[in-house]
Copies of this chain bind each other. A is one copy, B any other.
């Protein structure tokens, strides 16, 4: 992962509305939800939601699939893992014992 991608993903999540959308999709993984259902759950106007979904998709954090008249969105959980790996890259110069808490990447 490159810095540019990480900033894109972090910026996508660093916004109340989008964070709510993403977390809703995480809860509803792996089936996902249609745009309409998301808007209904979060009481968000369609254009606003569309804008945010596009941002999340461009950041690689959600995937979209056309299903007839609907578009189904899904959280890309691997995106979060990639982000964390990037953040902790070469943590403690590779002395994992000195690194805190749980030993993710």
Contacts and interface: CB of A to CB of B under 8 A. Distances in A.
A40 interface: no
Interface of A: 3, 6-7, 10-11, 13-16, 19-20, 22-23, 26-30, 77-78, 80-81, 84, 86-93, 98-102, 104
State the copy count for this chain.
Answer: 2
A87 B80 contact: yes
Given A102-B81, A102-B104, A15 B7 contact: yes
Nearest to A105: B102
Contacts of A90: 26-27
B102 A29 contact: no
Contacts of A101: 77-78, 81
